[in-house]
Amino acid sequence: VLERLLLPELREAVLTRDWKGLAELCSVIHPSIISQMLVNLEDIELEWATFEHIDPMLRTQIFEYLPEEIQDALVARLPIEELADLLEMMAHDERVDIVKRMDEEHQALTMPLVARAEREDILRLVQYEEGTAGSIMTTDYAAIRADLEVHEALTQLRREAPNRETIYYIYVLDNQRRLIGIVSLKDLILALPSKKIAQIMREDVVLVNVDLDVETVARELAEYDLLAVPVVDNEQRLVGIITHDDVIDVVIEEATEDAQLMGAVQPLGERYLDSPFWLIVRKRVVWLCALFFAEMTSVYVLDSYEHGLFDTFKYVALFIPIIMATGGNSGSQGASLVTRSIALGELGLSDWYRVAVRELLSGIVLGAIVGLIGIATVVWLGHPAEFAMVLILSLIAVTTSGSLVGSLMPLVFKRLGMDPAVASGPFIASLVDVVGIFIYCSIALAVLSKFQ
């Protein structure tokens, strides 16, 4: 907060290329704020010149806070020796992302210059599939053996701490690197120095498999209020840890993706205002066209009722939009409730029956309530009484079918291995629109032709 006041000075130092002043300012300002200033420069030449003049240790920290585009631009300009140094110093989970985004030639030139242990670590982490625990874990965790005494463990930690992302949880491994327990640094500090680790460690460790999807990992960590969760392979060997800050990022990213899908936008993967214009158009036009085709069905449905219904009872057509919208809205409601519950892990495929019963009843009740308002309107507008019956029956039918389709579709999508969020919002609304128009026209035709 205080240091934000120094931002203009920092910017001034960069713009006047006062590298000595820059170094001084950098020593007192948090790296994330320096990175923010770099982003605001919006000039890659200047960003590069600044980056070049910051000392390697600090620049690693700043680099980790930069957005991907700028990271990639800087990586492209860095001499490969310096890039190799940068990779060696970076957090293990962050540097893998950089390497993944480099082209093969650049990788082939750079990787041989990275120290062997670090290189092997990168090559191992690169293999994990996107969206799995392995893809966001880091390998710079602290591990000890169970037969150490507390004071020996502390000595080991002191030696290793500068290279560890966190030393607040320390993992206890056996000779095969299998995870057998955990001690927190708090436990270590509180324990008698001569106690054995085996005596003070907790054995009921919350852990995740390396292939588990990141959303489930996030839920586990949030559920148990952990700082980090250990990741093991199929032989229970510790292969990495996932820390709380990465989990917050996952949670935020997932929520953004879901919100965009619910609004019929393919996830942007970037900030809205920073995204290129054509990227946004592309992410939207796919959905807009798909939904347009889906809605096309409504033209045919209406056309088929032209003679016999709209010809005779003109006022029936006036209520098409309101029937459509009400069905769509109740569908969106059901969809957003169920989609979010799935995302939170509260709801699984096996609950489909409970969901269906609940939504069936909700739909009937909601339709009846809205239908009463509809009847009042019909009376007030002076349409015939039998049309009031058409309206309330149609509203009950569309809210019920909307609620059912809206709530069950996300489960169907999940069953098919697709993102349930796709099946909410406009997708459901379009589906329900056409169904709603069909229901309304059928009921109107059946009832009104009887009364004629």
For 268, list phi and psi in degrees, rounded to 5. -75, -40
Query: Contacting a copy of itself (CB under 8 A), which of 127, 130, 277, 353?
Result: 277
Site for a copy of itself in 11-50 (CB under 8 A): 28-30, 32
- Side-chain-side CA neighbours of 277 within 13 Å: the count stands at 0
Closer residue to a copy of itself in complex, CB, 78/378: 378
Q: Does 68 bind a copy of itself (CB under 8 A)?
A: no
Closest distance between a copy of itself and the C-beta of residue 193, in Å? 11
Q: Does 408 bind a copy of itself (CB under 8 A)?
A: no
Closer residue to a copy of itself in complex, CB, 235/293: 293
Could you tell me where the DSSP H helices lie in 225-319?
Answer: 244-262, 277-305, 315-318
Q: Does 71 bind a copy of itself (CB under 8 A)?
A: no
Site for a copy of itself in 201-220 (CB under 8 A): 203-204, 206-207
d(CA 14, CA 160): 35
Closer residue to a copy of itself in complex, CB, 114/257: 257
Query: Contacting a copy of itself (CB under 8 A), which of 134, 181, 420, 425?
Result: 425
Taking CA atoms, 93 is separated from 84, 168, 174, in Å, by: 16, 18, 24
Query: Contacting a copy of itself (CB under 8 A), which of 168, 199, 211, 308?
Result: 168
- The piece of 11-19, 44-52, 69-77, 296-304 that touches a copy of itself (CB under 8 A) is 296-304
Site for a copy of itself in 366-395 (CB under 8 A): 366, 369-370, 373-374, 377, 381
Site for a copy of itself in 178-197 (CB under 8 A): 185-186, 189-190
Count Cβ atoms within 10 A of the Cβ of residue 193 and give its class: 0-12 exposed, 13-18 middle, 19 or more buried. Answer: exposed
- The piece of 12-20, 79-87, 269-277, 408-416 that touches a copy of itself (CB under 8 A) is 269-277
Query: Contacting a copy of itself (CB under 8 A), which of 161, 349, 379, 418?
Result: 161
Query: Contacting a copy of itself (CB under 8 A), which of 23, 58, 251, 412?
Result: 251
Closer residue to a copy of itself in complex, CB, 84/179: 179
d(CA 369, CA 88): 65
Site for a copy of itself in 77-106 (CB under 8 A): none
d(CA 418, CA 411): 10
* CA-based max dimension of the chain: 96
Build a one-symbol-per-residue string for 306-345: x at contacts with a copy of itself by CB under 8 A, - elsewhere.
Answer: x---x---xx-xxxxxx-xxx-xxx-xx-xxxxxxx-xx-
Q: Does 55 bind a copy of itself (CB under 8 A)?
A: no
- DSSP assignment of 412-445 equals HHHHTTS-GGGGSTHHHHHHHHHHHHHHHHHHHH
Query: Contacting a copy of itself (CB under 8 A), which of 162, 234, 353, 417?
Result: 162
Q: Does 5 bind a copy of itself (CB under 8 A)?
A: no
Q: Does 256 bind a copy of itself (CB under 8 A)?
A: yes
End-to-end Cα spacing for the chain = 75
Q: Does 221 bind a copy of itself (CB under 8 A)?
A: yes
- The piece of 106-114, 119-127, 128-136, 300-308 that touches a copy of itself (CB under 8 A) is 300-308
CA dihedral (239, 245, 247, 249) in degrees, to 10, reads: -130
Query: Contacting a copy of itself (CB under 8 A), which of 176, 224, 353, 416?
Result: 224
Q: Does 132 bind a copy of itself (CB under 8 A)?
A: no
Q: Which residues contact 318 (CB under 8 A, 6 or more apart)?
A: none
Closer residue to a copy of itself in complex, CB, 128/440: 440
Q: Which residues contact 402 (CB under 8 A, 6 or more apart)?
A: 326, 327, 328, 329, 330, 331, 334, 363, 428, 432, 435, 436
- The piece of 47-55, 75-83, 116-124, 346-354 that touches a copy of itself (CB under 8 A) is 346-354
d(CA 294, CA 378): 30
Residue pair 440/323 in contact by the 8 Å Cβ criterion? yes
Q: Does 362 bind a copy of itself (CB under 8 A)?
A: yes
Closer residue to a copy of itself in complex, CB, 58/113: 58
Q: Which residues contact 306 (CB under 8 A, 6 or more apart)?
A: none
> Which tokens sit at 95?
């540097």
d(CA 87, CA 90): 5
Taking CA atoms, 357 is separated from 151, 329, 345, in Å, by: 60, 19, 20
- The piece of 9-17, 42-50, 52-60, 274-282 that touches a copy of itself (CB under 8 A) is 274-282
Amino acid at residue number 273: L
Q: Does 303 bind a copy of itself (CB under 8 A)?
A: yes
In the three-class reduction of DSSP (H, G, I as helix; E, B as strand; rest coil), residue 382 is classed as: coil
Q: Does 171 bind a copy of itself (CB under 8 A)?
A: no
